[in-house]
Structure 1
Amino acid sequence: MLGVSFLPLKELFLKNFILVRDAHIEFSPGFNVLTGETGAGKSMLISALLFLGGADVDWEVFSGQRDEAVVEALFVRKGEVLRVKRTINPEKRRTRAEINGSYATKSALRERIMPLFEIHGQHENELLLDPSTHLSFFDRATGLSELQREVESLFERKVELESELRKRRKDMERLRQIRMLKEYQLEELRRAELREGEVVELEEAIERLSHVEALKEGINRVLDLLYRDDHSAYNKAYVACRILEDLGRFDRTLRPIIESLRGYGAAIEDSWRELVAYEERLEYDPEELENMRARLSFLRELEKKYG
């Protein structure tokens, strides 16, 4: 005989459960009797309820079955509703349980659902022999069931608050670590003493110092061509200007050209002075070159790191 404590069993659904393909049983208030000959499936209903209560699955019973098995029960009393559902995946040998739509473990089923059932045999009462049920009997006998539910509700709220507190602490720790990282990065950038355009300046300076000899050689050739050789551009412009000055006595229209040549000569002389000063500043310093390369490498690493 099967009885229900605390919450009456209202409906029972079975699908692909052992020999039952699809069944929906509705129970009336009060006493219900299920009868049938041997093999009609009465024991399977008890097995289904025990399965809802967290009993282990006998996988041999479901060997060869591919379709998912489902057992679901609805308990109702004075507006209080409890819906329990447990499914079996025979191929993956996995089960999943839900209580009122939320995931539930087997231990939760054993704690919350199994006490709803009392299974009586001819010579024993299994529930009375289970020490884990004695406290619930005591609560019912002393009228403490309502207080028990209140305590359970408060305990569940306590668990929720503790979970929320742990989450907030984790969030605070994560934010603290992010702040520490940002402070470290900011200090690293401050110590770097960055200047706008520094990378371009370093690249140009390294290129210049790496080719000092080639630059000096080329500058000296240009100085010779512009000023120092007897056949330099300056000397040729000077000679051309003297010739035109003599010819200018015969034709005044040559004077603008003479002035232009004089300006050309002055420009050559200015360029020569600037190149001389540039050539004097060129000096190969291996230590300075190495420092520049190290600084450029450091700046490029920062660029990769921070974008």
Structure 2
Amino acid sequence: MLIELRVENLGVIEHATLLLGPGMTALTGETGAGKTMVVDAIELLVGGRADPGVVRAGADEAMVEGRFELADGSEVVLGRVVPRSGRSRAYVDGRLAPASALAEWGEKLVDLHGQHAHQSLLGTATQRAALDRFAGVDLGPLSAARAEVARIDAALAALGGDERARARELDLLSYQVAELDRAELDDPHEEAALEVEEDALADAVAHQAAAVGAVAALSDDGGAADALATAIGALAGRAPFATLDERLRAVAAELTDVAGEVRAVGEGIEEDPARVEAVRQRRQLLRDLRRKYGETLADVLAFAVEARERLAELAGYEERAGALDAER
């Protein structure tokens, strides 16, 4: 409720203060006395258009302030300043605010009725709300029904309402799913394993040569095994070196085992140009898939699942759309 209104330099009003009490207040006066200016002042307070032409002749700006009492007994003070040039300024409780803030307060506090003025009672929504309040209508079921309709509409929109757009998406997804199916991708760590395999296959000759050289250094005449045998023979039977003699014999046994394993690994490496090429092609395919469908192979696998689900939705569009329409 408006309990105080102060107006300065607005139209014909140089200065006016109105203190309003409960009930109805009527303002009367001759034509040109400023009755309309009072209404215009209230309209400015609730976010109405600020026209510099309303500033009183000889003044630099017009000012309107209104003090309103809220339903909980608290108060709010709205203010509006309209300069002769430049933009108007709005205030809420003495603080600068946008005009939209005044409009929000105005919807709660003021309803203007008059010629050429906004009349909320003419609004369909306002009329319906008033009737519902008067009749005590429970709007819960209606709200729930509207929410369900909105959900169904959203589901229909997600299916793709435009036939051409749906056909384009269907073709694209069919191609993508077919490409992913041909790749037979099922291991998110496949690239790492292929990298190790390619390294072994691509350098097979060098690996074999390295194994031969290592075995020769360990086992051939004059190699590490012979050197150890010489050391063991020199220390054998000498009490101060008994413990060291045992350790050298253990090293000799380990050296023999290592030499045998190196020889076995080297002999197991075979040159396979065809397999090298196959691995390289597979790695390139995986890189292409990542470039199109995800940062990692795990992302690509996730995209494949989503694409298959969406493809199934589009393929069953008619059936699903019919079911949703029936629900609606």
Structure 1-normalised TM-score?
0.48
More helix by share: 2
Q: Which has the larger radius of gyration?
A: 1
